């Protein structure tokens, strides 16, 4: 009788362990779920990367626009200074024509000395 009881207990344990093990269908369902999760994570990573690229592009465009505006402002300022200098030089030539002629002659003489070959 004792042996029969042990046999029944052993059979029950084997049956219980077999029913606790996941079936092939359960494993297939878990694999499908895992595939879906991986696909979703891949999509999220792609969206995150695209978002980062878009933000970097927007930042670069903003900096480029700022630099362009600053360069245009500096160009306008330099143009105004050049015009002012030309106006001042013209006014000086009109007020002092003899001095201007002497300066031009001296400058021509210096250029002639510097460019002559000896």
Q: Using one digit for the tens of pLDDT, what is the confidence trace for 59-96? A: 999 999 999 999 999 999 999 999 999 999 999 999 99
- In this structure, how many other beta carbons lie within 10 angstroms of the beta carbon of residue 97? 10
Q: Which domain holds residue 43?
A: 38-118
Tell me if 23 is assigned to some domain.
no
Per-residue tokens: 11? 């059979």
Tell me if 57 is assigned to some domain.
yes
The greatest distance separating any two alpha carbons of the chain, rounded to the nearest whole angstrom, comes to 142
With H, G, I as helix, E, B as strand and everything else as coil, classify residue 22. coil
Residue 23 phi/psi, 5-degree rounding, is: -85, 170
Tell me if 112 is assigned to some domain.
yes
Asked if 105 and 113 count as a contact pair (C-beta separation under 8 A), the reply is no
Sign of CA dihedral 28, 31, 37, 39: negative
pLDDT at residue 53 is higher than 90: yes
> How many structural domains is the chain composed of?
1
Tell me if 87 is assigned to some domain.
yes
Tell me if 47 is assigned to some domain.
yes
pLDDT of residue 117: 78
Tell me if 20 is assigned to some domain.
no
CA distances to 4, 13, 64, 80, 86 from 58, in Å = 80, 66, 10, 33, 42
**Running DSSP on this structure, what letter comes out for residue 1?**
-
Q: Using one digit for the tens of pLDDT, what is the confidence trace for 69-78? A: 999 999 999 9
Per-residue tokens: 70? 């600053």
- In this structure, how many other beta carbons lie within 10 angstroms of the beta carbon of residue 45? 10
């Amino acid at each position: 009788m004792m042996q029969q009881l042990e046999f029944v207990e052993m059979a029950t344990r084997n049956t219980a362990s077999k029913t606790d093990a996941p079936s092939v269908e359960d494993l297939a369902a878990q694999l499908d779920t895992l595939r879906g999760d991986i696909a979703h994570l891949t999509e999220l990573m792609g969206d995150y990367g695209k978002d980062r690229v878009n933000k970097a592009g927007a930042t670069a465009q903003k900096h480029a626009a700022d630099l362009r505006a600053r360069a245009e402002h500096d160009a306008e300022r330099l143009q105004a200074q050049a015009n002012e200098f030309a106006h001042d030089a013209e006014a000086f030539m009109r007020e002092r024509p003899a001095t201007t002629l002497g300066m031009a002659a001296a400058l021509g003489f210096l250029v002639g000395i510097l460019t002559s070959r000896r």
